[in-house]
């Protein structure tokens, strides 16, 4: 038991050496790593969690209800269109009822024809391939009395939501990237959530404002014949809606419900300054087809107002003085440079396919992060020193061995965190400190065992040998149970809890390693050189 082959000794010492090398970059600035640290050596630093460097954690929830309503509304329009195709089919009661669109066909002999036309609207999302079944977005429920209902198929809705989340992630990524956030992480969580983490972000409010905006931009013609007051009372001509103006104190305006153009016709948006007033504006450029459409509309409606609407709010409503044919334009809306920039970012990145709401938000200011690191470091330092002193007092020379093992343990933990690029959080630091308290346990188990064996009259070498062997099983059993609890914690945990679980799991593993190999090596070396007649325990 106390014999170590040469390669084993080499392996143990090499492990520790590698861990030390891995740790060095943590003490260098990123510039130093770039210029002085050899590129063939691992140059990664420990990743600090949001709570230690400040930053934003945002969990977004796709508003499924809102999305469904929008889709059903579009479906309703499609159905109306389909029934109007020649030969026209007579129907009544077309409308959205909860989660379905329903209508009733008048003539009994037209039921089949109507069913056929509605069937075309089911919108196949994937075709049947080998072994799979075709998935359609909607399903048709056809009553014998001519009542037709179209609603989401559950597989279709799932698939749709999947696409929506995926698209949203891409849009968010474009927005966040353009804002210049450092290493943001954007990922899908569950079926309908998106998690955005931006460490080191100093202006969480602005980030939140940018990410959460649907940013659906549309152009509508303004109807000045209906007074907003009348409209507010509900006297709206069919096909028109009342929208409020973004500008504080601006009166609402009545506009056509159907937009002339949408944001999808935009190809670019930039901040610029109006030549006369020097006010920041957002200039945009339209796609070729968009430009053609825009030219047509502006030619037909010279002299009228058209509203530029972002997420149901009128940003500005300029008058069309002359046809705009060159395919570009400007939006002015009393912007500051920053709000103009933000709008340009939103327009460039595109609109979110569905409304998102914040389901969970955690932001930590950089000041608190720095304080937390300081507090964590101080606690770790004091805790370690106290444990070291206790071990010295309780076990003397063997306490020194235990403390060296403890040091190796900490080096290994930090190195593994660096290699895995696991995120170090404040609870993570607590996990390390706790591990240090518990790590000496294996040494305590071994030492107490050696003491007992020695009292039973064994020779020092035999006592040490038996002590290690007997304690080994206990250490394994005891640590595996702890490990199970820690792994469960890791599995279920999110954010801070995960951070704690990571260091705790790593700590338990390294503790077992140091107890089984390193401590034994140290004690064995000591025995070989000293040949003690009594174990000083």
Partner 1 sequence: MRLLRLFPDDTKIPFMKWRKWSFLFSGIASVLCFVVLYTHGMNTGIDFQGGTLMEVQTKSGPADLEGIRNQLNGLGLGEVQVQSFGADDDVLIRIARQEGGDEAQTAVISKVQASLGDGVDYRRTEMVGPRVSGELAENGILGIISALALIMVYVWFRFEWQYSLGAVIATLHDVVLTIGFFAISQVEFNLSSIAAILTIVGYSLNDTVVVYDRIREMRRKYKRLNLVVLLDLAINQTLTRTTNTALTTLIALAALVIFGGEVIRSFTASMLFGVLIGTYSSIFIAAPVLIFLDPQLAGDKSTKKVEDDEGAVEPA
Using CB under 8 A as the binding rule, the residues of this chain from 468 to 497 that contact partner 1 are 470, 473-474, 477-486, 488-489, 491-497
For the CB of residue 2, give the shortest distance to partner 1 in the complex, in Å: 22
For the CB of residue 418, give the shortest distance to partner 1 in the complex, in Å.
22
Any contact of residue 359 with partner 1 (CB under 8 A)? Answer: yes
Give the one residue of 108, 232, 386, 456 binding partner 1; rule: CB under 8 A: 386
Q: C-beta of 374: minimal distance to partner 1 in Å?
A: 8
Burial class (CB in 10 A: 0-12, 13-18, 19+), 144: exposed
Nearest approach, Cβ of residue 104 and partner 1 (Å): 34
| 243, 226 contact by CB (below 8 A) | no
Nearer to partner 1, 102 or 363 (CB): 363
Looking at residues 440 to 469 of the shown chain, list those that interact with partner 1 (rule: CB under 8 A). Answer: 440-441, 444-445, 448, 451-452, 455
Start-end of H helices in 204-350: 204-212, 228-232, 288-300, 337-349
- Residue 22 or residue 356: which is nearer to partner 1 going by CB? 356
Q: Of 153 and 510, which CB lies nearer to partner 1 in the complex structure? A: 510
Specify the residue, 257 or 371, whose C-beta has the smaller distance to partner 1.
Answer: 371
In terms of Cα–Cα distance, which of 518, 511, 502, 405 is closest to 46?
502
Q: 519 to each of 398, 400, 445, 447, 514, how far by Cα in Å?
A: 10, 10, 12, 11, 6
Q: Give least dist CB 525 to partner 1, A.
A: 21
Shortest Å distance, C-beta 201 to partner 1: 12
CA distances from 477 to 64, 74, 229, 508, 512 (A): 48, 62, 78, 12, 11
Q: CB of residue 407 vs partner 1: minimum separation in angstroms?
A: 15
Q: Evaluate whether 490 touches 505 at the Cβ level (below 8 Å).
A: yes
Q: Contacts with partner 1 in 97-126 (CB under 8 A)?
A: none
Q: Does 168 bind partner 1 (CB under 8 A)?
A: no
CB of 313 to partner 1, least distance (A): 15
- Please list every residue from 293 through 312 that binds partner 1, using CB under 8 A: none
Minimum CB distance to partner 1, residue 346 (Å): 18
* Closer Cβ to partner 1, 218 or 384, answer by number: 384
- Which string of b and e fits 437-453 if b means at least 16 CB within 10 Å? ebbbbbbbbbbebbbeb
Q: Which is nearer to partner 1, 41 or 492 (CB)?
A: 492
The yes or no reply on residue 500 touching partner 1 (CB under 8 A) is yes
Cβ proximity to partner 1: between 110 and 520 the closer is: 520
| Cα 496 from chain centroid (whole Å) | 14
Contact at 8 Å (CB) between 347 and 215?
yes
Footprint (CB under 8 A) of partner 1, residues 391-450: 391, 393-396, 426-427, 429-430, 433-434, 436-438, 440-441, 444-445, 448
| CA–CA distance, 314 with 305 (Å, rounded to integer) | 12
Site string for partner 1, 315-344 (x = CB under 8 A): ------------------------------
* Cα gap 337→94, rounded to integer Å: 47
Name the helix (H) or strand (E) containing 244: strand 240-245
Comparison of 147 and 379: residue with beta carbon closer to partner 1: 379
Contacts of 460 (CB under 8 A, 6+ apart): 454, 527, 532, 533, 534, 535
Site for partner 1 in 188-227 (CB under 8 A): 204-205
For 305, residues 6+ apart whose C-beta sits below 8 A from its C-beta are 221, 222, 224, 253, 317, 318, 319, 320
| Residue list 234-263, contact with partner 1 (CB under 8 A) | none
Q: How far is the CB of 22 from partner 1 (least distance, A)?
A: 25
Q: Is residue 382 involved in binding partner 1 (CB under 8 A)?
A: yes
CA distances from 126 to 163, 402, 468, 535 (A): 12, 63, 63, 75
Taking CB under 8 A as the criterion, which residues in 55-94 touch partner 1? 59, 61
8 A C-beta contact, residue 116 and residue 102: no
Cis bond upstream, residue 87 (ω within 30):
yes
CB of residue 429 to partner 1, shortest distance in Å = 8
Q: Would you state the structure tokens that stand for residue 203, as one six-digit string?
A: 């202006």
- In the bound state with partner 1, the residue whose beta carbon lies nearer, of 12 and 410, is 410
> Nearest 5°: phi and psi at 97?
-120, 100
């Amino acid at each position: 038991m106390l014999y170590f082959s040469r390669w084993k000794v080499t392996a143990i010492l090499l492990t520790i050496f590698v861990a030390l090398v891995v740790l060095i970059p943590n003490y260098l600035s990123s510039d130093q790593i770039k210029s002085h640290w050899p590129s063939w050596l691992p140059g990664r630093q420990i990743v600090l969690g949001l709570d230690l460097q400040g930053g934003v954690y945002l969990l977004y929830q796709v508003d499924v209800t809102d999305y469904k309503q929008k889709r059903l509304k579009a479906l309703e329009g499609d159905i109306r269109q389909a029934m109007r195709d020649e030969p026209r089919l007579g129907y009544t009661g077309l409308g959205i009822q909860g989660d379905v669109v329903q209508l009733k066909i008048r003539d009994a002999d037209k039921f089949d024809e109507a069913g056929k036309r509605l069937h075309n609207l089911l919108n196949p999302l994937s075709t049947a391939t080998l072994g799979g079944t075709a998935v359609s977005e909607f399903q048709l429920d056809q009553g014998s009395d001519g009542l037709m209902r179209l609603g989401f198929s559950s597989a279709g809705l799932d698939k749709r939501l999947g696409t929506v989340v995926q698209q949203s992630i891409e849009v968010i990524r474009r927005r966040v990237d353009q804002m210049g956030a450092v290493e943001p992480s954007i990922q899908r969580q569950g079926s309908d959530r998106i998690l955005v983490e931006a460490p080191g972000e100093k202006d969480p409010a602005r980030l939140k404002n940018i990410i959460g905006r649907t940013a659906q931009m549309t152009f509508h013609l303004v109807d000045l014949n209906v007074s907003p007051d009348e409209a507010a009372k509900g006297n709206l001509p069919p096909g028109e809606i009342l929208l409020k103006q973004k500008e504080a104190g601006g009166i609402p305006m009545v506009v056509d419900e159907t937009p002339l153009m949408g944001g999808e016709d935009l190809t670019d948006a930039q901040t610029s300054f109006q030549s006369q007033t020097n006010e920041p504006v957002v200039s945009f450029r339209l796609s070729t087809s968009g430009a053609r459409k825009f030219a047509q509309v502006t030619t037909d409606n010279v002299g009228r107002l058209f509203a530029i609407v972002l997420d149901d709010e009128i940003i500005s409503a300029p008058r069309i003085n002359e046809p705009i044919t060159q395919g570009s334009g400007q939006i002015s809306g009393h912007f500051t440079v920053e709000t103009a920039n933000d709008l340009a970012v939103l327009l460039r990145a595109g609109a979110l396919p569905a409304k998102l709401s914040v389901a969970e938000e955690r932001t930590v200011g950089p000041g608190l992060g720095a304080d937390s690191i300081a507090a964590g470091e101080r606690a770790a330092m004091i805790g370690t020193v106290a444990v070291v002193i206790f071990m010295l007092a309780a076990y003397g020379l063997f306490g020194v061995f235990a403390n060296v093992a403890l040091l190796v343990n900490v080096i290994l933990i930090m190195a593994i965190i660096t290699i895995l690029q696991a995120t170090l959080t404040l609870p993570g630091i607590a996990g390390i400190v706790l591990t240090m308290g518990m790590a000496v346990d294996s040494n305590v188990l071994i030492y107490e065992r050696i003491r007992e064996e020695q009292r039973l009259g064994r020779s020092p070498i035999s006592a040490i040998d038996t002590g290690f062997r007997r304690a080994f099983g206990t250490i394994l059993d005891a640590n595996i149970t702890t490990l199970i609890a820690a792994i469960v914690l890791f599995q279920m945990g999110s954010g801070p809890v995960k951070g704690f679980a990571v260091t705790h799991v790593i700590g338990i593993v390294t503790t077992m390693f140091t107890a089984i190999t390193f401590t034994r090596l140290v004690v064995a070396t000591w025995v070989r050189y000293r040949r003690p007649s009594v174990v000083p325990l």
